[in-house]
Structure 1
């Protein structure tokens, strides 16, 4: 009869336990926590809701109320991106998990963009209303017979309709869809003056067009703005020693 010694009977259990501990330690080693805080580079204030992503993956997180975040990554080194609406995206290459301090700069393109609202002009990045801006560069070179046609296909939620196919026939604009209270025409404001239509406006004279779509943006104009507001700013002269002559032609 073969008898197993007690310590030999325990050997398989010890070996199995060692394997389990090895796998457990490997699992923990595969996950590394990246922590940090996201700030505004100019004001040094914490940014809430900034997006932190591991490059090339869908692994990500966002900063909380005090700008801090925690991101679990598979291994180091790792490349991450930190982004926030209205700010320049920052890419970082990390070789360790030391706490980060990320300072995001405001996007220079958004800072300079100004929209026209009822009370005057406002930087687009601080505007809370639904406003679409169309510049002279956007409509430059587009062969259009009238000013209304310059709006066609330039912004979402705006529809240009032709009443008929006859030359010179009027066109209508729908910003919020069809109204149940009769007239669907938006309010037109040209250089601060309210006008009935813009049929006689030369498209080449337009500097910018701001379309106020929601009630918050157009509230100052009252009931006449129930169907939205189209604010047009025309070009003005500039102080220059040289005269400029512009000629353009197109075939419709």
Structure 2
């Protein structure tokens, strides 16, 4: 009899615990509610998929689907929803304003909108995953050099440039991410001018003022389209083209000199003969 009473007491405690659990869940469900809506581009009205939505101050979040729609749970009408997406400005919307929201994100004009030239066309910098460095025409305008190789010196990470001689117009040796093989020829990068591969020694004819941009492809991901020739990197040169607008004439000239850091005193013929 006593054993039966003990079992009955345990069952009562278990039943009470289950009742309290269900009551707590019901109260929590009553406190929380779902907020739905759609996120669009403010400029063209297109839906934005993959937008991050987070309840401010919490880890509760979700993302929009392929149609820009979302549903997220909030615990209080005073909660703020934070909308963020690459290339767009963040937006904070009060969840209490409506249970069915329409959010318009404004494009953020930053470096992510910069166009990068790759082997098969052009892409925005935000979607390029390879290691690519760019030198624009504005940067080149402030670099007076006789050849375009020296214009890259010290301005692209991972690229080493050494002048072969002090003669004006002489070529330079370029190494992208160090020496990768034996022999000088095997370490030279591939030059591509307006989509046409050229020999490194044949780029001296290019006028620095005629260059729109220079891209340096430094890893296998970005240079794979060129095959084995791109094993030591690729340098893409895009030249300027005609543009709509008024006719303009620009003149840019520079002159440079070079001198030895230390001038040695040499022997004349008589002095040399006496030493011999």
How does the TM-score come out when normalised to structure 2?
0.58
Q: Alignment RMSD, CA only?
A: 4.3
What residue number does 1:18 align with?
none
* CA shift in 2, pair 1:247/1:72, >3 Å: farther
What residue number does 1:174 align with?
176
Deviation string for 1:112-171 (max 9, x for gaps)? 74433333x323268555243321013331354531233345444x32232668565723
Are the counterparts in 2 of residues 40 and 104 from structure 1 also a CA contact under 8 Å? Answer: yes
What residue number does 1:101 align with?
102
* CA shift in 2, pair 1:240/1:99, >3 Å: closer
Question: 1:245 is paired with a residue of what secondary structure?
Answer: coil
* CA shift in 2, pair 1:122/1:235, >3 Å: closer
Determine the C-alpha separation between the residues in 2 that align with 1:229 and 1:188.
Answer: 6
Are the counterparts in 2 of residues 38 and 63 from structure 1 also a CA contact under 8 Å? Answer: no
Are the counterparts in 2 of residues 160 and 174 from structure 1 also a CA contact under 8 Å? Answer: yes
How does the TM-score come out when normalised to structure 1?
0.62
Are the counterparts in 2 of residues 51 and 60 from structure 1 also a CA contact under 8 Å? Answer: no
Describe how 1:48-63 pairs up with structure 2 within 5 A: 48=50, 50-52=51-53, 61-63=61-63
Determine the C-alpha separation between the residues in 2 that align with 1:147 and 1:164.
Answer: 14
Query: Which of residues 250, 262, 270 is equivalent to 1:244?
Result: 250
What residue number does 2:224 align with?
219
Are the counterparts in 2 of residues 37 and 63 from structure 1 also a CA contact under 8 Å? Answer: no
What residue number does 2:215 align with?
210
Are the counterparts in 2 of residues 143 and 251 from structure 1 also a CA contact under 8 Å? Answer: no
Are the counterparts in 1 of residues 119 and 195 from structure 2 also a CA contact under 8 Å? Answer: no
| Alignment: residue pair count | 220
**Where do 5+ consecutive residues of structure 2 fail to align?**
1-26, 259-276
The answer to which structure has the higher helix fraction is 2
Describe how 1:1-252 pairs up with structure 2 within 5 A: 36-40=37-41, 42=44, 44-48=46-50, 50-52=51-53, 61-63=61-63, 65=65, 67-68=69-70, 70=72, 77=78, 80-85=81-86, 87-94=87-94, 96=96, 98-107=99-108, 113-119=114-120, 121-124=121-124, 128=128, 130=130, 131-144=132-145, 146-156=147-157, 158-162=158-162, 166=166, 168=170, 170-175=172-177, 177-180=178-181, 183-197=186-200, 198-199=203-204, 201-236=206-241, 240-247=246-253
